[in-house]
Structure 1
């Protein structure tokens, strides 16, 4: 038989414990709804929070990878544009040399062609000198290669080989002071120009392949970043539909708990009737 006591109201204590539990659960649900997170701190779920933080760091690091790949793309694009320009200039030089190789040409006409040839030749050097992006030039011989970050911890890189298109080099064998004064000397340059044009085309193909590789990896990094972000969401995001249903239930339970506590607090007043 329960003891009637004015000092200890067991019913009120139990009702208060249940109400406090309901209020705590209600606060948790309200926090999840407000933040959209079921794991907003290490206190909510230490293991899930630690994993999420680690993956957030990876996502942030991948931003740096994407920036590095973007810079590499820009460098290669500038180099390719310069290479295409050089190829066009070499073609023009071949046209001038071929025209000058005509033995029926008079000296005045050949001199005019020579001046044009020399001007185009010098333009190649100017083109290569100005083919820089962010201080990096892949076609003037100043860089043999560049690298771009490939993963979040920097342990892997993409390497892009430079293509030295300078006059008198291994790709463009035409000398930097190449010129002609006679039909025979003009004809002698044609083979060198053909070889140089073909070599520049091969170099452009290599730059194009490198550019495609960088673009493909940048696309992969973007997809990887999205996948990791989705995984983080699966760990820490709250199901708002579920939390909304919980909120309604806990609010109702809170009201009932307040009523139960009120009834329990009134129970001790029945003891007074024993002394009337």
Structure 2
């Protein structure tokens, strides 16, 4: 329908053109801004999310900057700690060098003083942006504080409920500080530190008692005992127990499970000896121990005597023969027998046993007649000569010290019974003379055998250490150690402030001398069979004699309950030129300082790694959030560009359509011109 009032085609074309222009404007805005959601009216949900996340991303950017600042502080502090470790290592090495006898400690002290200044310089200069974690100004002692935390910003967190919070990484400055105004830094003394506990902590207190011994060689194996043979010897233990021990064929056979009385080896002999001690009833006091061919009689040290000893002597065999013991002897062949001494004739010979002064033996016709039951003064063979010599020794008072026997057919052996008290076992013959001149019946140049034996007194278990530096047991401090006596159970002993004050009659917990330390330890060890005394600077531990000479004791695992293993001095106070100061205490204390600084550096290094990781994560997270926001609100420029061209074309077409619609109205207007 054509109307003079309304141009419907033009209105339609205008509406189309207006719509195209609106779309064209929106597309142009997307292209110019790069956003498809620029305002809340574009997409309220996406706009809200993107706006919130952009705000969060700005916060994350600030977190990343804060992490960089924190990393700089950590790097600065870590560098200072690394340098401190190096200097402390050198410091400790110099202290160890000062232990060398004859070294000039004053020169070493000069080096130590320079190290001290360098340590203070490191602590003072390890500052970043006015923050210094190595030199702090806290008025309290850091060891008395539960912690001294400082935080560095490490994250920005939005929870599922929409709330936000800032995450931090906490660093305990109390564990890092080297020097603090109120004390407690790693290079300062530890409050309540007991140091080496006056040298007790590092003392070696493992004491073993030893019973008295009689050591001698064994020899002559194999040898056998017949039913008529008896070996005997006397054994005395601790000067209280004395018993004659006998060995016969019956004992040998029963002990070794044989029937021929043969003792074939050193070991078999030791077995027989111990059984003989049992038979004699002294096995609870002494025993025999074999090492190689050396036999040791050892006192068990349980007789209650104040000393411990073993004496084995009067070793004999009847009839004469090998005893298994290596005893000193001299052996002479007989010659010119039979031998006759007339009235007025005599044979004299000097004999020495076990290194003692010589005695002169005299043989005359009356001795021969009485010894052999004859009347003609005749010695017919070696057996007769043994009988005569034995009686001559008895007459001279040496019969118990020397045994005479026939060996190898016609030779005579003079053997020490080792009962003379001499320093070794041996027999020496000399000056064999017949008066008037004539044959003596004994050949010259005899063979000599000597056997040393060693006797040593025993001693009770004892240990000692040198008291070094005074220390104070504070309230709440506890010293602990383990003690084990003999075969008893191990017991833990505790020493606290109350025990110290009660033992010393004081109220300050101070232990300032070896005497005081001995008093405290003696009180603590009551009922443990260990007594403690002092002598000068020595603290001496003795086992209760009732435990026996062979008992031992061990004191170990000395420790305390102080929270920090630390020094009882400041590093800047170290002075090795003062004889009052103990080098071992300095070495132990500096080692504790070094250990603490190393632990601090390790902990800070771990935090540094975490901060580096968190920094990388923050940057990655910001990039990820940018991508996520872009997916929500960014315009797709390729699509927008194509759409823009299409809309521009549509706009041209719309304008042309509007022109056409307007031109149709000219035909109507011509009606009014006619």
Relative to total residues, which structure has the larger helix share, 1 or 2? 1
Does TM-score exceed 0.5, indicating one fold? Answer: yes
Evaluate the alpha carbon distance shift between residue 272 and residue 181 of structure 1 in structure 2; reply closer, same or farther with a 3 A threshold. Answer: closer
Asked if the contact 1:179/1:186 (under 8 Å) is kept, the reply is: no
**Structure 1 partner of 2:634:** 237
| Structure 1 position 251, deviation (Å) | 1.2
Q: Distance in 1 between matches of 2:620 and 2:151?
A: 21
Q: Distance in 2 between matches of 1:142 and 1:66?
A: 29
Relative to total residues, which structure has the larger strand share, 1 or 2? 2
1:75 to 73, 76, 88: 73
Map 1:36-115 onto structure 2 (within 5 A). Answer: 36-105=34-103, 109-115=104-110
Q: Distance in 2 between matches of 1:155 and 1:33?
A: 37
Map 1:76-155 onto structure 2 (within 5 A). Answer: 76-105=74-103, 109-142=104-137, 144-152=148-156, 153-155=164-166
Write the deviation string for residues 158-184 of structure 1: whole angstroms up to 9, x where unpaired.
Answer: 112221223214476352311201688
Evaluate the alpha carbon distance shift between residue 220 and residue 54 of structure 1 in structure 2; reply closer, same or farther with a 3 A threshold. Answer: same
Is 148-157 or 257-266 further displaced after alignment? 148-157
Q: Distance in 1 between matches of 2:15 and 2:155?
A: 52
Asked if the contact 1:100/1:182 (under 8 Å) is kept, the reply is: no
Secondary structure of the 1:150 match is strand
| Structure 1 position 188, deviation (Å) | 3.7
Secondary structure of the 1:25 match is helix
1:179 to 563, 572, 575: 575
Unaligned residue ranges in structure 1 (runs of 5+)? none
Is 90-99 or 43-52 further displaced after alignment? 43-52
1:34 to 20, 32, 37: 32
**Structure 2 partner of 1:206:** 603
Is 234-243 or 174-183 further displaced after alignment? 174-183
Map 1:212-227 onto structure 2 (within 5 A). Answer: 212-227=609-624
Write the deviation string for residues 188-242 of structure 1: whole angstroms up to 9, x where unpaired.
Answer: 4222222222221111100111111111112221111111111111111110010
Aligned residues: 271
Is 245-254 or 41-50 further displaced after alignment? 41-50
TM-score between the two structures when normalised by the length of structure 1: 0.90
Secondary structure of the 1:156 match is strand
Q: Distance in 2 between matches of 1:182 and 1:101?
A: 14
Map 1:245-256 onto structure 2 (within 5 A). Answer: 245-256=642-653
**Structure 2 partner of 1:17:** 15
| Structure 1 position 254, deviation (Å) | 0.9
Is 115-124 or 237-246 further displaced after alignment? 115-124
Q: Distance in 1 between matches of 2:670 and 2:592?
A: 118
| Structure 1 position 187, deviation (Å) | 4.3
Q: Whose Rg is larger?
A: 2
TM-score between the two structures when normalised by the length of structure 2: 0.38
Q: Distance in 2 between matches of 1:273 and 1:187?
A: 127
Asked if the contact 1:100/1:113 (under 8 Å) is kept, the reply is: yes
**Structure 1 partner of 2:188:** 168
Asked if the contact 1:101/1:185 (under 8 Å) is kept, the reply is: no
Unaligned residue ranges in structure 2 (runs of 5+)? 139-147, 157-163, 180-186, 191-563
Q: Distance in 2 between matches of 1:169 and 1:18?
A: 90
| Structure 1 position 94, deviation (Å) | 1.4
Q: Distance in 1 between matches of 2:137 and 2:621?
A: 34
Q: Distance in 1 between matches of 2:57 and 2:91?
A: 51
Cα RMSD (Å) of the superposition?
2.1
Q: Distance in 2 between matches of 1:26 and 1:213?
A: 52
Q: Structure 1 residue runs of 4+, over 4 Å off?
A: 169-172, 272-276
